[in-house]
């Protein structure tokens, strides 16, 4: 048995192409080839030392150096590695030789802590709900929020994809509160507030597990040497 073999999705994620779940879609779509042959099987394994892997016609170089970046995402940027003519991407803020990709996302109008990495195992550990990594947000809504509404947010709210898990909610002013969740549903907090009749006017992520945004300025990033993940 060749001990050098690794799953293709893990190889691509560790090379900084995208998260494991994202590269699985690239494989299924026929965007990945191994030694000149298009691969669509998710269970495919490759030998990084011998096999030539290409993504959309470009050779993918494996990476043993793991990188984790903390970015303070400004409002108006999208969390994607793709380039769009009329969109500003968080990748425009990163000046790094290694390819990295965002771990989870913040929607375009939200701001705050975003992690980027080229470590597929870490990305999975930080983003998949089963690992229950806490994500803390500062939320401001368009009108005074009631205790009843805060209680409902904490217990769980039915949105388009189902009922949200219980959350921790702490009011900080008449129109703002901090909220801790461990899910990552698309625009979850905005949808939860909308169901209760509130419009989110500001949403800022300030913590993921033990990693805190701190006083890092908007649009700036730093490489994290060590963290309790």
* Residues with catalytic function: 107
Q: In terms of DSSP bridges, do strands 111-117 and 68-73 run parallel, antiparallel, or are they unpaired?
A: antiparallel
How many whole angstroms separate alpha carbon 190 and alpha carbon 69? 26
Contact yes or no for 69/115 (Cβ under 8 A): yes
Contact yes or no for 41/24 (Cβ under 8 A): no
* CA distances, 4 to each of 51, 73, 90, 172 (Å): 11, 37, 34, 52
Q: DSSP character for 36?
A: T
Token pair of 119 as six digits: 């470590």
Contact yes or no for 209/122 (Cβ under 8 A): no
Residue where the block lists tokens 């269970």 = 43
Candidates 109, 99, 19, 5; CA nearest to 60 is 99
């Amino acid at each position: 048995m060749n001990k050098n073999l690794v799953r293709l999705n893990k190889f691509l994620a560790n090379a900084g192409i995208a998260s494991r779940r994202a590269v699985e879609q690239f494989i299924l779509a026929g965007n990945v080839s191994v030694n000149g042959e298009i691969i669509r099987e998710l269970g495919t394994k490759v030998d990084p030392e011998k096999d030539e892997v290409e993504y959309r016609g470009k050779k993918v170089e494996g990476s043993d150096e793991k990188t984790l970046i903390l970015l303070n995402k400004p409002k108006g940027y999208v969390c994607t590695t793709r380039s769009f003519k009329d969109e500003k991407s968080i990748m425009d803020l990163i000046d790094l030789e290694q390819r990295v990709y965002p771990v989870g996302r913040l929607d375009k109008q939200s701001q705050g802590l975003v992690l980027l990495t080229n470590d597929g195992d870490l990305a999975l550990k930080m983003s998949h709900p089963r690992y229950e990594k806490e994500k803390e947000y500062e939320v401001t809504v368009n009108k005074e929020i009631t205790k009843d509404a805060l209680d409902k947010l904490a217990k769980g709210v039915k949105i388009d994809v189902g009922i949200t898990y219980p959350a921790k909610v702490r009011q900080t002013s008449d129109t703002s509160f901090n909220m801790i969740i461990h899910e990552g549903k698309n625009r979850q907090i905005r949808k939860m507030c909308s169901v209760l009749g509130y419009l989110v006017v500001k949403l800022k992520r300030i913590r993921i597990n033990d990693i805190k945004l701190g006083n890092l300025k908007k649009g700036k990033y730093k490489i994290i040497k060590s963290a309790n993940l």
